Chain A
Amino acid sequence: MSALTAQQLAEKALAASTADGCVVYVVESTEANLRWASNSLTTNGAMRSRQVVVVSFVDGGAGMAAGTVARTGTPDVAELVAASEQAARDAGPAEDAVPLISEEPPGAGEWDADPAETSIEVFAEFAPALGEAFGAARDRGDLLFGYAEHAMTTTYLGTSTGLRLRHDQPSGRVELNGKSTDFSRSVWAGVGTRDFRDVSVPGLAGEVERKLGWSKRRVDLPAGRYETLLPPSAVSDLMLYAYWTMEARDADEGRNVYARTGGGNRIGDRLAALPLTLRSDPAAPGLEAAPFQVVGASSGSASVFDNGMATPAVDWISGGVLTNLVRTRAWALKTTAPAVAAVDNLVLEAPDATATQDEMVAATDRGLLLTTLWYIREVDPQTLLLTGLTRDGVFLVEGGEVTGAVNNFRWNESPVDLLGRITEAGRTERTLPREWNDWFTRAAMPPVRVPDFNMSSVSPAS
């Protein structure tokens, strides 16, 4: 990369700082990807990057102000630090100012170690297996589309209060989309992974082949409310939106779905009829995420003053009851409530649930089995009403069996409202969100049954 290591850059910037406080983080990342369409590779890449971020804190008398400057590569450290300090002087007192973190969080990492890396070689076994899947699909008259990506990100965070924290974050995903040659039938399978050693191309291809087989019988259904089985991927896309909206300040100010009528927030309210738990845990097996916060810009849900703050396991919903919202230390002080940081993973569980998706299908007299959701957007923040489409497989279940594929639908639903209407949840398993996996790959969700999912209109797309 350069003569200076990430740790040296961080130390040099901290040493150059003349501010009242300083946070420096360096993010080293490597990434490799393959993309394919119609049984052939289309694009690919191997990328290496380094980002250096300096956050300076300057007390102008009226309060502490913060300024953030970020550069890629190996920037001139003195210039970077000076720019950051100037930005802080220009900013004026910050509303979220609190003393910087000085207590080392658990899982601080090995500061002196080199950054972890990935390369195109991560696909050494995957690519030939994918080639075999292309051949098999070609032989069947099917087409495969998709994408595989592996990234390794190492973050070094140093502060003027003495913290030296390091975290390696591997992230990987595979999406396999199967289509008939006329594109009239389309199905999907996807997984998240840390290292590709647990990715089975034959397993994914088999799932795609099975669903393409289900799709050979086509059934047209009108818009309406249907008993619907949502698979883990679809559940994760809905729950992620509910999670991203869990800002305590917005709720306390009456401006999100977690606001209580009359004032305050809805912590303590029962949101789910079933005793569901929605939680995040940086140590969740297979979903490991950073155990401390790294923040470049303050918002209602994160603060640059909280850099290095521990992000322990947290229940957002426990036993069906809203238990926590995301709260910065500054807002926590103002509202005499605990500071709670967001974590980069999400798990939904029902206690003692053992049913697999197939078993839930077998227990369904008549209903729809979805595959994934797409183009999810907020319609009404007050209720968190979302809209979106079904995609790559809506299957009709009759008498406990899949009997054909149904047209796609546009739906309008609120994930918070849905929580209250889920009548059954199955066994939680690792899943890949379809809509949001650009940003979020670490999720584990159960399949769920909703008796009256609102399919607002028919989508002719296949």
Chain B
Amino acid sequence: MAAPRDVDESFLALPLSALTEAALTRAVDLGCEHADLRVERIRTQAISLRDARLEALTDGEDLGLAVRVVHEGTWGFAAGVVLTAAEAVRLAEQAVAVAKVSAAVASDRVELAPEPPHEGAWVSAYDVDPFGVPDAEKTALLTEWSERLMAADGVEHVQSGCTHVKEQKYYADTAGTRTRQQRVRIHPEFTALTVDRTTGAFESMRTLAPPVGRGWEYLTDGRWDWGAELAQIPELLREKTKAPSVEPGRYDLVVDPSNLWLVVHESVGHATELDRALGYEAAYAGTSFATVDQLGSLRYGSELMHVTGDRVVEQGLSTIGWDDEGIEAQRWDIVRDGVLVGYQVDRNTARLGGMARSNGCAFADSPRHVPVQRMANVSLQPAPDGPDLDGLIGGVERGVYVVGDKSWSIDMQRYNFQFTGQRFYRIEGGRLAGQLRDVAYQATTTDFWGSMRAVGGPSTYRLGGAFNCGKAQPGQVAPVSHGCPAAVFEGVSILNTVQEGGR
């Protein structure tokens, strides 16, 4: 790991102090109880290849500033792209004007949970800034690996690419907080596809490497064995196309962390966002079955279930120094011994939930958007003395081992979900017995987590995640990681997707 670095000088050279002085002074003059300023620069590069040929390479930069105020108990928000003191003053005035228009339909006063002022800088853990690597070098590596896949027997098409982001944020508020942050994330993906023209059938298989809060070294330092994974995919894909179609029914599942992270995300991560539980997302993403009156009593899952919220884990996609309301990063329990014990909150929902302090889950995905309560790295903890993967599979007489994520869907209160995967294997007598096709599993959140009868040990633990979790109106996307071990679930309903389609 390289030595800790500073926020890029080109970002620090922006007129941050002048913008702060202009916006916050004007907001206070206009009678605001609270005001904050964010200056953000988000650089995004997406490289996509089709059949090992470059399809598109786009390089975007989103730079702007936003002023948020609380004026007479009502939020007001305005954003722009011109970084001058005059524009900062205009945005403060516009934010107050928005608050005044909104006051006619606002009956609840906004009150923010207190936070001591912070001053400092924070940079995420990465070695190689992907924006410092020449485009030609990045494209060449992706092309070479795609060609390797294309050259394999039976692989007719390859879709591949890499997206990387560098996010720089400056935050200041009327309480005196001044923070500067920089983080980098990356998501490479390779998908091989086979087509049988005589039957019209086609099938695909994607790499399992998750998006991470790392730099370009993710592709080159060997900590993820890309060579081995790419070498395995063609044979795994061939096996998948010849695999028998699953017999629907109830099976014991061994769920690999490459699939389970998404179940954690959908059924625990979103369900324990306090803004959802309070109804703030009711018209869009939905509410939650994990209502506030059940805090401390809701039996979420088996006693083996221990889930944490975490904004400090190294290389997590939701890892920060301070959130977008100036709250210091923290780690806390959400489910302990199978019982709901905590929520993810921001400063306003913390107050509404009777909490003394926010746990730092405010995030805005661009300088144009208001911060909303977004997910921490929500992770299922491994059993300290738990078995390895073979041990988990060995304990299942008849079941299915699920690897990799593919299709996912859950209802608006986070009860009923359906997931597919990259690969499904039959388990017979504690051993893997070949792949299965056409598999989806359905469950209800508390039934599923209640059926968890074994949790893998630290050797099975892996950090998965997503770049683009959607929430809020206007829509925002957020990156988030989820750690989890492999785990065993009893008697889960498996569907045959061909039969579901009526064929």
Give A residues with C-beta under 8 Å from B: 1-2, 31-50, 67-75, 83, 86-87, 90-92, 94-96, 120-121, 123-124, 127-128, 130-131, 134, 143, 145-147, 149, 175-177, 179, 183, 186, 188, 253-255, 259-263, 296-300, 304, 374-383, 385, 387-389, 391, 408, 410, 412-414, 417, 438, 454, 456-462
How many angstroms from the CA of A188 to the CA of B76 in the assembled complex?
27
List 30 A-B pairs, Cβ < 8 Å: A37-B279, A38-B108, A39-B107, A40-B106, A45-B78, A48-B79, A68-B56, A68-B59, A75-B61, A83-B59, A87-B59, A91-B135, A120-B97, A127-B104, A134-B107, A186-B282, A263-B197, A296-B58, A297-B48, A298-B55, A299-B56, A374-B286, A375-B412, A382-B202, A383-B503, A385-B497, A391-B412, A408-B416, A461-B289, A461-B413
A-B pair count, CB < 8 Å, reads 287
The reply to whether the CB of B57 lies closer than 8 angstroms to some CB of chain A is yes
In the complex, are the beta carbons of B82 and A387 less than 8 A apart? no
In the complex, are the beta carbons of A95 and B55 less than 8 A apart? yes
Question: Contacts A34-B102, A297-B46, A457-B442 given: A44-B135 contact, CB under 8 Å?
Answer: no
Looking across the interface, which residue of chain A has its beta carbon closest to that of B68?
Answer: A45
- Shortest A95–chain B CB gap in Å is 5
How many angstroms from the CA of A211 to the CA of B97 in the assembled complex?
35
How many angstroms from the CA of A304 to the CA of B55 in the assembled complex?
10
Contacts of A32 in B (CB 8 A): 98
Contacts of A263 in B (CB 8 A): 197
In the complex, are the beta carbons of B418 and A387 less than 8 A apart? yes
Give B residues with C-beta under 8 Å from A: 46, 48, 50, 53-64, 74-83, 94-95, 97-99, 101-102, 104-108, 134-136, 139, 156-157, 193, 195, 197-202, 204, 278-280, 282-284, 286-287, 289, 368-370, 372, 407-416, 418, 420, 438, 440, 442, 444, 470, 473-475, 493, 495, 497-498, 500-503
How many angstroms from the CA of A141 to the CA of B53 in the assembled complex?
60
How many angstroms from the CA of A1 to the CA of B86 in the assembled complex?
11
In the complex, are the beta carbons of B497 and A127 less than 8 A apart? no
Contacts of B278 in A (CB 8 A): 37
In the complex, are the beta carbons of A261 and B79 less than 8 A apart? no
In the complex, are the beta carbons of B475 and A438 less than 8 A apart? yes
- Shortest A405–chain B CB gap in Å is 15
Contacts of B495 in A (CB 8 A): 412, 456
Contacts of B60 in A (CB 8 A): 69-71
Looking across the interface, which residue of chain A has its beta carbon closest to that of B65?
Answer: A73
- The listed residue (B56, B136, B193) touching A298 by CB distance below 8 A is B56
Question: Contacts A1-B82, A68-B59 given: A42-B280 contact, CB under 8 Å?
Answer: yes
Given A43-B77, A253-B195, 19 more pairs with CB closer than 8 A: A33-B474, A42-B280, A45-B369, A46-B78, A70-B59, A71-B63, A74-B81, A90-B134, A131-B104, A254-B202, A255-B193, A262-B197, A298-B56, A383-B501, A387-B418, A410-B442, A454-B502, A461-B415, A461-B416
How many angstroms from the CA of A67 to the CA of B136 in the assembled complex?
12
How many angstroms from the CA of A413 to the CA of B287 in the assembled complex?
25
In the complex, are the beta carbons of B74 and A41 less than 8 A apart? yes
In the complex, are the beta carbons of B473 and A261 less than 8 A apart? no
Looking across the interface, which residue of chain A has its beta carbon closest to that of B83?
Answer: A73
Looking across the interface, which residue of chain B has its beta carbon closest to that of A260?
Answer: B200
- Shortest B95–chain A CB gap in Å is 8
In the complex, are the beta carbons of B54 and A92 less than 8 A apart? yes
- Shortest A348–chain B CB gap in Å is 21
- Shortest B136–chain A CB gap in Å is 4
Contacts of B415 in A (CB 8 A): 459-461
Contacts of A457 in B (CB 8 A): 416, 442, 493
- The listed residue (B63, B76, B284, B412) touching A44 by CB distance below 8 A is B76
Question: Contacts A71-B63, A91-B139, A377-B409 given: A254-B55 contact, CB under 8 Å?
Answer: no
In the complex, are the beta carbons of A145 and B411 less than 8 A apart? no
How many angstroms from the CA of A37 to the CA of B412 in the assembled complex?
16
Contacts of B409 in A (CB 8 A): 375-377, 387-389, 410
Contacts of A123 in B (CB 8 A): 101
In the complex, are the beta carbons of A456 and B442 less than 8 A apart? yes
Question: Contacts A41-B74, A383-B501 given: A50-B81 contact, CB under 8 Å?
Answer: yes
The list of the 6 closest CB pairs from A to B, nearest first, reads A261-B200, A461-B413, A177-B283, A297-B56, A73-B81, A145-B283
Contacts of A188 in B (CB 8 A): 283
- Shortest A80–chain B CB gap in Å is 10
How many angstroms from the CA of A406 to the CA of B322 in the assembled complex?
45
Contacts of B64 in A (CB 8 A): 49, 72-73
How many angstroms from the CA of A381 to the CA of B82 in the assembled complex?
44
- Shortest B503–chain A CB gap in Å is 7
Looking across the interface, which residue of chain A has its beta carbon closest to that of B202?
Answer: A255
In the complex, are the beta carbons of B195 and A254 less than 8 A apart? yes
Looking across the interface, which residue of chain B has its beta carbon closest to that of A304?
Answer: B56
Contacts of B53 in A (CB 8 A): 95
How many angstroms from the CA of A458 to the CA of B493 in the assembled complex?
13
How many angstroms from the CA of A127 to the CA of B100 in the assembled complex?
11
In the complex, are the beta carbons of B413 and A69 less than 8 A apart? no
Looking across the interface, which residue of chain B has its beta carbon closest to that of A36?
Answer: B105
How many angstroms from the CA of A189 to the CA of B48 in the assembled complex?
39
Looking across the interface, which residue of chain B has its beta carbon closest to that of A38?
Answer: B279
In the complex, are the beta carbons of B57 and A412 less than 8 A apart? no
- The listed residue (B78, B99, B157, B289) touching A47 by CB distance below 8 A is B78
Contacts of B202 in A (CB 8 A): 254-255, 259, 381-382
In the complex, are the beta carbons of B416 and A37 less than 8 A apart? no
Contacts of A71 in B (CB 8 A): 60-61, 63
In the complex, are the beta carbons of B135 and A461 less than 8 A apart? no
How many angstroms from the CA of A297 to the CA of B46 in the assembled complex?
9
How many angstroms from the CA of A394 to the CA of B17 in the assembled complex?
54
Contacts of B493 in A (CB 8 A): 457
Contacts of A36 in B (CB 8 A): 105
Looking across the interface, which residue of chain A has its beta carbon closest to that of B408?
Answer: A377
In the complex, are the beta carbons of A379 and B57 less than 8 A apart? no
- Shortest A59–chain B CB gap in Å is 16
- Shortest B39–chain A CB gap in Å is 12
How many angstroms from the CA of A260 to the CA of B200 in the assembled complex?
7
Contacts of B503 in A (CB 8 A): 383
Question: Contacts A43-B77, A297-B46, A410-B442 given: A35-B473 contact, CB under 8 Å?
Answer: yes
Contacts of A121 in B (CB 8 A): 101
How many angstroms from the CA of A253 to the CA of B193 in the assembled complex?
11
Question: Contacts A71-B63, A131-B104, A414-B501 given: A44-B139 contact, CB under 8 Å?
Answer: no
Contacts of A130 in B (CB 8 A): 105
| Residue of A41, A92, A149, A460 most packed against chain B (CB within 10 A) | A41
- Shortest B405–chain A CB gap in Å is 11
Contacts of B136 in A (CB 8 A): 90
In the complex, are the beta carbons of A92 and B139 less than 8 A apart? yes
How many angstroms from the CA of A127 to the CA of B103 in the assembled complex?
10
| Residue of A37, A42, A186, A263 most packed against chain B (CB within 10 A) | A42
- Shortest B35–chain A CB gap in Å is 15
How many angstroms from the CA of A69 to the CA of B218 in the assembled complex?
24
In the complex, are the beta carbons of A255 and B139 less than 8 A apart? no
How many angstroms from the CA of A134 to the CA of B402 in the assembled complex?
48
- Shortest B98–chain A CB gap in Å is 5
- Shortest A347–chain B CB gap in Å is 24
- The listed residue (A47, A176, A260, A391) touching B79 by CB distance below 8 A is A47
How many angstroms from the CA of A183 to the CA of B413 in the assembled complex?
11
In the complex, are the beta carbons of A262 and B198 less than 8 A apart? yes
Contacts of B134 in A (CB 8 A): 90
Question: Contacts A177-B283, A379-B497 given: A460-B197 contact, CB under 8 Å?
Answer: no
In the complex, are the beta carbons of B54 and A417 less than 8 A apart? no
In the complex, are the beta carbons of A145 and B500 less than 8 A apart? no
In the complex, are the beta carbons of B407 and A41 less than 8 A apart? no
Question: Contacts A149-B473, A456-B500 given: A461-B193 contact, CB under 8 Å?
Answer: no
How many angstroms from the CA of A135 to the CA of B197 in the assembled complex?
62
- Shortest B124–chain A CB gap in Å is 23
- The listed residue (B55, B94, B106, B438) touching A41 by CB distance below 8 A is B106
How many angstroms from the CA of A123 to the CA of B104 in the assembled complex?
11
In the complex, are the beta carbons of A90 and B139 less than 8 A apart? yes
How many angstroms from the CA of A408 to the CA of B411 in the assembled complex?
9
